[in-house]
Structure 1
Amino acid sequence: MAGYEGKAVTSDVNSGTMIYEPILEEGVFRFDCSADDRNTAFPSLSFVNSKVRDTPIMGTHTVPSYLPTFECVLGQQLVKIELPPGTSFYGTGEVSGQLERTGKRVFTWNTAAWGYGPGTTSLYQSHPWVLAVLPNGEALGVLADTTRRCEIDLQKESTIQIIALSSYPVIIFGPFTSPTDVLISLSHAVGTMFMPPKWSLGYHQCRWSYDSDARVREIARTFREKGIPCDVIWMDIDYMDGFRCFTFDKERFSDPKSLVKDLHLSGFKAIWMLDPGIKSEEGYFVYDSGSERDVWIQTTEGRPFVGEVWPGPCVFPDFTQSKARSWWAGLVKDFIANGVDGIWNDMNEPTVFKAVTKTIPESNVHRGDTELGGCQNHSHYHNVYGMLMARSTYEGMTLANENKRPFVLTRAGFIGSQRYAATWTGDNLSTWEHLHMSISMVLQLGLSGQPLSGPDIGGFGGNATPRLFGRWMGVGSMFPFCRGHSEDDTKDHEPWSFGEECEEVCRLALKRRYRLIPHIYTLFYMAHTRGTPVATPTFFADPKDVRLRTHENSFLLGPLLIYARFFFFFFGYELLGLDQLQQVLPKGIWLSFDFDDSHPDLPALYLQGGSIIPLGPPHQHIGEANPTDDLSLLVALDEHGKAKGILFEDDGDGYEFTKGGYLLTTYVAEVESSVVTVRVSKTEGSWKRPTRRLHVQLLLGGGAMLDAWSTDGEILQIVMPSDIEVHSLVSASKKQYKIRMELASARSS
């Protein structure tokens, strides 16, 4: 059986200006080479609903600000969009290298890329998407809506060129007022991220592999004994019986239910790996049931394709078929009964060993559902294979318990994967270069619609040094997804594995994260419901400020600015880090603070003037939190003496929040006649406000703050000190900060 190779063009060369029609909402346009191309385009797998992409909206009189041109040559469609000089490019999905993408070229072809570098052009995921920030701070987004291998060429200044097999539509979002507005509009097309269970925002500890349930229990016990916060322990492939998915090694993991029960009693969740490669072995229940239902990817001769992966010869589910997805979801449902809290989909590019291409042949056949594109060669579905696997896994977890939110982590993905799974940045290395790149990589995923991501903290391949691991944990504890993970032949990479000083840095870093969980969880609620990003580049604070557009050592979590301290080691020389360089902050008021935990290995923290963020106690795991815990509000007034912030609260799991079972509080602060009044200005949801103490910390600058206590929901007034008193408080705070930093430096030297 032969798959579809792509639609032929009527001549060797075709060119012109693309035709357009408005879709989705005001300011969004679909472009095609011709009306015939528009009518015969493949269904969209990136859009939540392909019909939305294919249905023009009526009654709009706006026209596009920019018109792409196209050229069709030998079956390839080249699209070019020229933008004003000074335009900056971002996005392009999971990519290594610099934050600002001008001068780069990316190929969207999901690829296993162990030890990738800054020049690697294809990684594990494909996002044929560019976010362009114009010189005036406005922004637009460009989506090439094709699943095929795609070249995104940004080598020419202010010009986007996209090359892929003919033919495909291009969707342009904007220009809109800000980059955030573009991402919100994108989310209306490709969907917002799933609402994560609150526990998944804690720290995750992983290794390839914890080789027995006894070792897992030891890891869990050590976290609690050492007072290092952690919520999740992960099981890599060695928990399986001979790498057979949905099985457990009878000796080393003989009773997974008992293991998970013990983990739950200590406040841990357990996440287990499932790969797509199913061992081709009669008598293995997964292989037998899949063969009975005829769910495997086929060769051109109509036989199941067999490729080598961890178990040996493997077959691969064809997730483009609804019957295969239902079969997989049923297996997942049964698997969850073992106490599984989350599932990790790895190797789903899909990766095949002993193959030059590292994947299955492009000529293999997928008998896809009509609404996905029908029967096609693998080259058509390759980039969405991982997303469809994650979707099937997510659906299986929902079948197992519709009252719990699934948590799935996927290595391979496509634009739209955020609807089903979190992701990480793949097999990175324990180097300073990879630590530096991890910030830009997380940010690019967020700018491409995937907010819940992070790197393997400390690096997957190689052995981290204590200084590298501590610095990485300092930054990684602030990423949306926070997991430590390391390869099987490396030294131990748990937080206590590098000596007492590094252990203390990790403890401080993770306590910071847990104090910020109320703020981080609120950001994810906003991402889920409104499509706003979670972690963003610093220039989002002021898109017009070109100084900030290439800044890679800092990022934002809402109004919170995290400024990393990096020391790079090359050829034996230590280059100047942040401590020796002037920090580049956005314009306006940015007030520094800490939790009396300043350390040279931890990032500097700043809160934007005009903001309020909620804080909680530094629990050992999120399950310890109680609605009656003291609530802290960190307040930074703007130049007008005002501030505003929100807090989202619910059960932390399940879907009662979709039925009104939540509390969304807007807090405001305002100074008048030297008195700052803090109060609730608005609430949403049916939850009753818990009876709890409210601790307000009003930032004064230089790390100094005023503390005041009240009952949450009541009006609190704080009398501002005189200018002389403020100066004294700031001076004392700076002195204490210097002492803490010097003591920490002395201990670590």
Structure 2
Amino acid sequence: MITNTELEFKGDLYPSKIVSFEHDVDSVFFNTFNSVVLKITVVRDSLIRFRYTTKGYFSNDFSYAIDKSHSHGYNFLEVTEEAEYYQIQTSKLKCVIQKIDMRVSIYDLNGNVLLEDELGFHWEESYEYGGNIVKMSKASKDGECFYGLGDKATQMNLKGKRLENFATDQYAFQKDQEPLYKVVPFFIGLQNKQAYGIFFDNTFRTFFDFCHERRNVTSFWAEGGEMNYYFIHGPQMEDVVTSYTDLTGKPELPPLWALGYHQCKWSYFPESNVKEITSKFRELKIPCDAIYLDIDYMEGFRCFTWNKEYFPDPKRMVAELAEDGFKTVVIIDPGIKIDKEYAVYKEALEKDYFCKRADGPYMKGKVWPGECNFPDYTNPEVREWWAGLFKELISDIGVKGVWNDMNEPAVMEVPNKTFPMDVRHDYDGNPCSHRKAHNIYGTQMARATYHGVKRFAYPKRPFIITRSAYAGAQRYTSSWTGDNVATWEHLWIANIQVQRMSISGMGFTGSDIGGFAEQPSGELYTRWIQLGVFHPFCRTHSSGDHGDQEPWAFDTEVIDITRKFVNLRYQLLPYLYTMFWQYIEEGIPMLKPLVYYDQSDIQTHYRNDEFIFGNQILVCPILEPNSLGRRMYIPRGQWYNYWTNSLVIGGKEIWVDTKFDEIPVFVKAGAIIPKYPVQQYVGELEFDELTLDLYYKEGKEKSVVYEDAQDGYDYKKGRYSFLTFRVTGKEKELNIQLHKEGKYDTNYSKYKINLIGFPFKVKSIEIDNEEVLFDRVKFEEDNYLIVGKEFNVLHIIGE
């Protein structure tokens, strides 16, 4: 046995024996002989928070990540003391704390170990910074798998990996490169078919080791701050992700156009070039809703200015683009050019809003405009000022969205690519150095941007996108995966990153389609578009220095396939909008890795490529050149091949043939998939029917469709339409029950129901118990029904 003295000699310090405890409402405090305090708070019956301090008292409890409106409250809480340990019990969990060394074990009510400390909490005194490196190690069992941590460029299952969280500008990053742009210190463990989650809410540079250094040990540590983490019990991964998403918050609904296709490049200028690009989309009939202006639209890269040579009348241009269905999105970076004649700089200087070095002067760094100072977005007064700067862009000029970039924060020509660590931050009244504030700087910038755009876009909804983010940023912004590369490997990385972001609470995410750096082949671009239309955020973006990356930069075959898949995305907008509604209402991720979809099937635990789009569509991208098919895993259940309508029984790996203009897409049997007609942009068409693709299944299946006015806030007053279709299939009949909620009346009056995979000929059709006439010959040719939208029960009877 190793004694405390021996461990201290090795450099690590540990809690000694517990000498007292105190129970205060939802929290229990444990005090050790050597002044360690452990505070355990029962947030909910299945969600427990652990805070440790080594100084005998806790600092102010403050977090940017936790959503103030998260649900809390428990049904049962009991604290008992035994000879060797203390026990805290809720209606879902038992938490045991050893008296001798403060080690913690968590059990379900059946006595199964969910998670237990290995060495548990320990720390190392960091004399360089005059604080502690705080550490936690947990015992890991054979076969345990790990998922999450945001957009890491590595395989889905993190077992065997060591990862680092420090927001970093990683231009042209590679597979397994660490760290990247975002910091989401949340992971999901899966062992013996039970899932749990750990959210380590610490904004310092953090590390996670999933049995990399030691085979049966998982550990996480931070270069400062508190050991402060939340344990979330499943047992389903769905429960863990939903609880975490509730804890860190959910966004508002975006305007529907934000879920359309977006086109971007560094850079579209002057105005004639922008108009040329937008006109070409309309000419080729490739739907597109947003055009982006990168840094060259500004005067010398000064934020909130326009280059009048390139864009002499931005208000007129933005209005003309809007008439053609294009929403204009502009980039805004954090670096404010040092220029006494520049109004934004002058005002920030007068009000003392810039970040300062520890010894007093403003922190100065080089980015696109040259030498810059940087606003301290951790100061609420600065955030309020920043929000107000968007009045001209949004209210006067008519810009519809803002893109925050370089906000890791990125600084050029310095080895660490960012601020010096001694830069000071307000941190909402909890003053600190950049070591603590670095990882949340980008999120606070996006937060300030969101409040500004929302204020001036009202009564419409705002659209914000950010490159850097910390846990909880999803409340304010969408995101993309940063400066990727036009390679097949990066197509593989993008697929995993967006799945991982989805189960890490940040659902509204996509990648730069085609790759930002270097030039894709027509084949690679095509395969990327085919994946990208199934990502919540869908945008082509490139660095532009290697040539063009619009769909027409390639041959006519690529143009045609791009149109085919972007058309499919626009048809699926009601399905995608419904996914988003379920994400914000219920915390259900929009993309589901197979392990999330069916964790009890061990075959899913190491799958990377396949994912569930929404609840009922299975997608598997083609990730290699010259491929007209691939092996893929079909999860358990029955699935229809979207292209051929042939039925496949899942639970096995199969070979799927595809063409160049297809990727493997399957629809769950029993599903009803809603579709709009193809539009060149959201709101272009008025239409009188909603298409419903109904895939036959013997048995029961539920499908839902959410709709509202597609923008604005009336949905928060109950003006939405939420349809629930319950399908029951039998050998020779099918029943569809329709339940409606909400006060919004959709523009269409009828449904066109495509009947797919029916095993019988239809003899009669009843609507609300009344038989209706139908043209049998035409019906057998077309296989669809047109019915009024007001029905309650549709009964199809076979011969």
In the superposition, the TM-score normalised over structure 1's length comes to 0.88
Asked if 1:14 is matched to 2:14, the reply is yes
Residue pair 2:492, 2:623 contacting (<8 A) in 1 also: no
Change (3 A) 1:545 1:58: closer
Kindly indicate whether structure 1 or structure 2 has the higher relative contact order, using CA contacts under 8 Å at least 6 residues apart.
Answer: 1
1:510 aligns with 2:529: no
Whether contact under 8 Å (2:51, 2:229) holds in the other structure is no
Matched, 1:584 2:584: no
- The counterpart of 1:363, out of the listed 412, 416, 422, is 422
Which among 302, 326, 334 is matched to residue 392 of structure 2?
A: 334
After TM superposition, give the deviation of residue 595 of structure 1 in Å: 9.0
Summarize deviations over 1:139-195 as a string: whole Å, max 9, x none.
111011101000111125564210113442443443213211111111221111232
What's the offset of the Cα at 1:241? Answer: 0.5
Superposition deviation, residue 578 in structure 1: 6.8
Q: Which residue of 2 aligns with 1:202?
A: 260
State the match for 1:544 in structure 2: 600
- Report what 1:349 is aligned to: 408
**Which residue number corresponds to residue 249 of structure 1?**
307
- Aligned 8 A contact 1:22 1:57 in 2: no
Residue in 1 that maps onto 2:668: 608
d(CA) in 1 for partners of 2:619 and 2:520? Answer: 22
**144-153 vs 599-608, which moves further:** 599-608
Q: Paired residue for 2:97? A: none
Matched, 1:316 2:369: no
- Residues 72-122 of structure 1: CA distance to partner in whole angstroms, max 9, x if unpaired? 122211111224322211111121021111111111100000111112111
Letter in structure 2 aligned against 1:676: L
Aligned-pair distance for 1:481?
Answer: 0.5
Q: Which residue of 2 aligns with 1:147?
A: 203
- 1:414-438 deviations in Å (ceiling 9; x for gaps): 0000000000000000000000111
Higher-helix-fraction structure? 1
Q: State the one-letter code of the partner of 1:711.
A: G
CA contact (8 A) 1:77 1:165 kept: yes
Bigger proportion of residues as strand: 2
Instruction: Report how far residue 403 of structure 1 moved.
Output: 1.3
**Alignment partner of 2:634: what SS?**
coil
Whole-Å Cα distance in 1 between the matches of residues 345 and 54 of structure 2?
Answer: 46
Structure 2 counterpart of 1:29, from 48, 51, 71: 48
- The normalised TM-score by structure 2 is 0.83
Flag the structure with larger Rg.
Answer: 2
| Range 383-392 or range 705-714, more displaced | 705-714
2:690 aligned residue: 631
Structure 2 match to 1:737: none
Task: State which of 762, 771, 789 in structure 2 corresponds to 1:712.
Answer: 789
1:133–1:140 CA contact under 8 A, matched in 2: yes
Q: Structure 1 residue 119 and structure 2 residue 176: aligned?
A: yes
Q: What do the CA deviations read for 1:508-533 (whole angstroms, capped 9, x no partner)?
A: 11011111110000110111122111
In 1, are the aligned partners of 2:367 and 2:411 still within 8 Å (CA)?
yes
Deviation at 1:262, TM superposition (A): 0.9
SS of 1:527's equivalent?
A: helix
Partners of 2:228 and 2:198 in 1: how far apart?
7
For 2:644 and 2:348, how far apart are their aligned partners in 1?
54
**Aligned residue identity for 2:46:** G
C-alpha distance after superposition, 1:648-681 (max 9, x if no partner): 111111111111011111012223461212231x
Q: Which moved more, 1:501-510 or 1:541-550?
A: 541-550
Contact residue 708 and residue 718 of structure 1 kept, 8 A: no
* Between 61-70 and 662-671, the greater mean CA deviation after superposition: 61-70
Residue 453 (structure 1) aligns with:
509
Query: Could you tell me how far apart the structure 2 residues matched to 1:208 and 1:161 are?
Result: 41
Unpaired runs of 5+ in structure 1?
Answer: 1-10, 722-749
Q: RMSD over aligned Cα, in angstroms?
A: 2.5
In structure 2, what is the Cα distance between the partners aligned to 1:375 and 1:707?
65
Structure 2 unaligned residues grouped into runs of 5+: 1-10, 18-36, 79-88, 95-105, 108-114, 126-131, 646-656, 760-780
Moved more, 31-40 or 447-456: 31-40
In the alignment, which residue of structure 2 is the partner of 1:729? none
Do the aligned residues in 2 keep the contact of 1:505 with 1:599 (CA within 8 Å)?
Answer: no
What CA distance in whole angstroms lies between the structure 1 residues aligned with 2:68 and 2:289? 35
Where do 1:359-508 residues align within 5 Å? 359-370=418-429, 374-508=430-564
In structure 2, what is the Cα distance between the partners aligned to 1:616 and 1:377? 51
Judging changes above 3 Å, is the alpha-carbon distance between structure 1 residues 250 and 37 closer, same or farther for their aligned structure 2 residues?
farther
Alignment equivalent of 2:160, drawn from 103, 106, 127 = 103
Say whether the 8 Å CA contact 1:430–1:460 is kept in structure 2.
yes
Q: Any conservation in 2 of the 1:207–1:236 contact (CA below 8 Å)?
A: yes
Matches within 5 A, 1:222-301: 222-301=280-359
Q: Is the 1:41–1:169 Cα contact (8 Å) retained in structure 2? A: no
Three-state SS of the structure 2 residue aligned to 1:584 is: strand
Alpha-carbon contact 2:611-2:619 (below 8 Å) kept:
yes
Distance 1:236 1:256 in 2: 14
Displacement of 1:354: 1.1
Secondary structure at 1:490 match in 2: coil
Is the CA contact (8 Å cut-off) linking 1:270 and 1:340 kept in structure 2? yes
- Which residue in 1 is equivalent to 2:744? 687
